Amino acid sequence: MRQMKLGKAFTLMESGPVVLVTTHDGKKNNIMTISWTMVVDFIPRFAIVTGEWNYSFAALRNKRECVIAIPAADMLDRVVGIGTCSGSDTDKFGKFGFTPVPAKFVQAPLIGECLANIECKVVEIIGRHGIIVLEGVAAYTNPARQEKRTLHAVGDGSFIADGERFERRKMMAAKLPPGV
Protein backbone atom coordinates (compact mmCIF):
# COMPACT_ATOMS: atom_id res chain seq x y z
CA MET A 1 0.00 0.00 0.00
CA ARG A 2 1.25 3.44 -0.91
CA GLN A 3 0.66 6.41 1.39
CA MET A 4 -1.04 9.32 -0.34
CA LYS A 5 -1.15 13.03 0.46
CA LEU A 6 -3.83 13.67 3.04
CA GLY A 7 -4.97 16.72 1.09
CA LYS A 8 -6.05 14.46 -1.76
CA ALA A 9 -7.80 11.83 0.35
CA PHE A 10 -11.22 13.47 -0.05
CA THR A 11 -11.07 12.46 -3.73
CA LEU A 12 -11.29 8.80 -2.64
CA MET A 13 -14.73 9.48 -1.16
CA GLU A 14 -16.31 12.33 -3.11
CA SER A 15 -17.82 10.09 -5.81
CA GLY A 16 -19.88 8.30 -3.15
CA PRO A 17 -18.53 4.72 -3.21
CA VAL A 18 -19.88 2.11 -0.83
CA VAL A 19 -17.20 1.61 1.83
CA LEU A 20 -16.12 -0.85 4.47
CA VAL A 21 -15.46 0.65 7.88
CA THR A 22 -13.22 -1.27 10.26
CA THR A 23 -13.13 -0.86 14.02
CA HIS A 24 -11.25 -2.47 16.91
CA ASP A 25 -13.09 -2.65 20.22
CA GLY A 26 -9.98 -3.42 22.30
CA LYS A 27 -10.33 -7.17 21.77
CA LYS A 28 -11.15 -7.83 18.14
CA ASN A 29 -11.48 -6.34 14.69
CA ASN A 30 -14.80 -5.83 12.97
CA ILE A 31 -16.02 -4.53 9.59
CA MET A 32 -19.25 -2.88 8.54
CA THR A 33 -20.55 -1.89 5.11
CA ILE A 34 -21.66 1.74 4.85
CA SER A 35 -23.16 3.49 1.83
CA TRP A 36 -24.40 6.63 3.61
CA THR A 37 -21.23 8.73 3.57
CA MET A 38 -20.05 12.11 2.33
CA VAL A 39 -17.07 14.43 2.32
CA VAL A 40 -17.46 17.31 4.80
CA ASP A 41 -14.14 19.13 4.39
CA PHE A 42 -10.98 19.00 2.28
CA ILE A 43 -8.84 18.53 5.46
CA PRO A 44 -10.16 15.76 4.97
CA ARG A 45 -13.29 15.24 7.01
CA PHE A 46 -16.04 12.78 6.25
CA ALA A 47 -19.49 12.02 7.61
CA ILE A 48 -20.98 8.54 7.86
CA VAL A 49 -24.38 7.50 9.14
CA THR A 50 -24.59 4.71 11.70
CA GLY A 51 -25.88 4.16 15.23
CA GLU A 52 -26.82 1.72 17.98
CA TRP A 53 -28.42 -0.63 15.42
CA ASN A 54 -24.92 -1.42 14.15
CA TYR A 55 -22.68 -3.71 16.25
CA SER A 56 -19.61 -1.67 15.22
CA PHE A 57 -21.11 1.50 16.69
CA ALA A 58 -20.03 0.73 20.27
CA ALA A 59 -16.39 0.36 19.19
CA LEU A 60 -16.58 3.56 17.15
CA ARG A 61 -18.10 5.47 20.07
CA ASN A 62 -15.75 4.05 22.70
CA LYS A 63 -12.47 4.08 20.75
CA ARG A 64 -13.30 7.12 18.62
CA GLU A 65 -11.43 5.81 15.62
CA CYS A 66 -11.90 3.65 12.53
CA VAL A 67 -10.58 2.95 9.05
CA ILE A 68 -12.58 3.68 5.91
CA ALA A 69 -11.61 1.05 3.31
CA ILE A 70 -12.77 1.39 -0.28
CA PRO A 71 -13.58 -1.89 -2.01
CA ALA A 72 -13.37 -2.55 -5.74
CA ALA A 73 -16.18 -3.84 -7.94
CA ASP A 74 -14.83 -7.40 -7.87
CA MET A 75 -15.47 -7.45 -4.11
CA LEU A 76 -19.23 -6.92 -4.41
CA ASP A 77 -20.38 -10.20 -2.85
CA ARG A 78 -18.06 -9.72 0.11
CA VAL A 79 -19.31 -6.13 0.55
CA VAL A 80 -22.92 -7.34 0.59
CA GLY A 81 -22.03 -10.29 2.82
CA ILE A 82 -20.36 -8.02 5.37
CA GLY A 83 -23.40 -5.75 5.35
CA THR A 84 -25.79 -8.60 6.05
CA CYS A 85 -24.17 -10.37 9.01
CA SER A 86 -23.13 -9.09 12.42
CA GLY A 87 -19.79 -8.79 14.17
CA SER A 88 -21.58 -9.91 17.34
CA ASP A 89 -21.29 -13.53 16.17
CA THR A 90 -19.00 -13.38 13.12
CA ASP A 91 -15.27 -12.81 12.61
CA LYS A 92 -15.72 -10.91 9.36
CA PHE A 93 -12.02 -10.73 8.43
CA GLY A 94 -11.87 -14.53 8.73
CA LYS A 95 -15.20 -15.29 7.10
CA PHE A 96 -14.64 -13.05 4.08
CA GLY A 97 -10.93 -13.70 3.67
CA PHE A 98 -9.71 -10.15 4.20
CA THR A 99 -6.22 -9.31 5.44
CA PRO A 100 -6.06 -6.91 8.41
CA VAL A 101 -3.03 -4.64 7.93
CA PRO A 102 -1.81 -2.61 10.93
CA ALA A 103 -2.59 1.10 10.68
CA LYS A 104 -0.26 3.86 11.91
CA PHE A 105 -2.45 6.06 14.06
CA VAL A 106 -5.46 3.90 14.94
CA GLN A 107 -6.03 0.39 16.33
CA ALA A 108 -8.58 -0.43 13.63
CA PRO A 109 -6.89 -2.26 10.74
CA LEU A 110 -6.58 -1.37 7.08
CA ILE A 111 -8.02 -3.95 4.68
CA GLY A 112 -5.22 -5.25 2.48
CA GLU A 113 -7.50 -6.17 -0.43
CA CYS A 114 -9.14 -2.74 -0.76
CA LEU A 115 -8.36 -0.05 -3.35
CA ALA A 116 -7.68 2.53 -0.66
CA ASN A 117 -7.78 2.98 3.11
CA ILE A 118 -8.19 6.08 5.26
CA GLU A 119 -7.31 6.07 8.97
CA CYS A 120 -9.85 8.22 10.80
CA LYS A 121 -10.47 9.75 14.22
CA VAL A 122 -14.00 10.57 15.39
CA VAL A 123 -14.53 14.35 15.57
CA GLU A 124 -18.13 14.29 16.72
CA ILE A 125 -21.11 11.99 17.00
CA ILE A 126 -24.33 13.83 16.17
CA GLY A 127 -26.60 11.23 17.71
CA ARG A 128 -29.98 12.74 16.79
CA HIS A 129 -29.19 12.20 13.08
CA GLY A 130 -26.89 9.18 13.41
CA ILE A 131 -24.17 11.28 11.77
CA ILE A 132 -20.55 10.63 12.74
CA VAL A 133 -18.00 13.22 11.64
CA LEU A 134 -14.55 11.74 11.03
CA GLU A 135 -11.18 13.30 10.32
CA GLY A 136 -8.75 11.43 8.09
CA VAL A 137 -5.24 11.20 9.59
CA ALA A 138 -3.52 8.98 7.00
CA ALA A 139 -4.52 7.61 3.59
CA TYR A 140 -3.22 4.85 1.35
CA THR A 141 -3.88 3.50 -2.11
CA ASN A 142 -3.23 0.02 -3.44
CA PRO A 143 -1.66 0.42 -6.89
CA ALA A 144 -1.42 -3.36 -7.35
CA ARG A 145 -5.19 -3.74 -7.74
CA GLN A 146 -6.21 -4.57 -11.34
CA GLU A 147 -9.92 -3.80 -10.81
CA LYS A 148 -10.06 -0.10 -10.06
CA ARG A 149 -13.80 0.54 -10.36
CA THR A 150 -15.57 1.38 -7.11
CA LEU A 151 -19.16 0.40 -6.32
CA HIS A 152 -22.13 2.64 -5.58
CA ALA A 153 -25.10 1.24 -3.67
CA VAL A 154 -28.52 2.27 -4.97
CA GLY A 155 -30.36 1.22 -1.82
CA ASP A 156 -32.80 -1.18 -3.51
CA GLY A 157 -30.40 -4.12 -3.56
CA SER A 158 -28.65 -3.06 -6.76
CA PHE A 159 -25.17 -1.62 -7.18
CA ILE A 160 -23.49 0.46 -9.90
CA ALA A 161 -19.82 0.27 -10.82
CA ASP A 162 -17.87 3.28 -12.05
CA GLY A 163 -18.30 3.75 -15.80
CA GLU A 164 -17.18 6.36 -18.32
CA ARG A 165 -14.83 9.09 -17.02
CA PHE A 166 -14.87 12.74 -18.04
CA GLU A 167 -12.11 15.28 -17.47
CA ARG A 168 -13.08 18.89 -16.67
CA ARG A 169 -10.02 20.09 -14.73
CA LYS A 170 -9.65 23.25 -16.77
CA MET A 171 -13.26 24.36 -16.21
CA MET A 172 -12.98 23.48 -12.52
CA ALA A 173 -9.54 25.04 -11.91
CA ALA A 174 -10.79 27.89 -9.72
CA LYS A 175 -12.66 25.44 -7.46
CA LEU A 176 -9.92 22.86 -6.84
CA PRO A 177 -8.00 23.13 -3.57
CA PRO A 178 -4.20 23.63 -3.88
CA GLY A 179 -2.27 20.47 -4.75
CA VAL A 180 -5.27 18.48 -5.99
List of residues contacting a second copy (CB under 8 A):
8, 10-11, 14-17, 35-41, 45, 47, 49, 73, 76-77, 80-81, 83-84, 124, 126, 129-131, 133, 149, 151-176, 180
Nearer to a second copy, 35 or 109 (CB): 35
Closest distance to a second copy from the beta carbon of 130 (Å): 7
**3-state secondary structure at position 47:** strand
Shortest separation between residue 59's beta carbon and a second copy, angstroms: 20
CB-facing half-sphere around the CA of 44: CA atoms within 13 A: 25
End-to-end Cα distance, the chain: 20
Q: Look up residue 103 and give its amino acid.
A: A
Nearer to a second copy, 101 or 153 (CB): 153
Residue 27 or residue 165: which is nearer to a second copy going by CB?
165
The distance of closest approach from Cβ of residue 43 to a second copy in the complex, given in angstroms and rounded to an integer, is 11
* Cβ atoms of residues 117 and 139 within 8 Å: yes
Instruction: Compute the distance between CA of residue 166 and CA of residue 180 in angstroms, rounded to an integer.
Output: 16
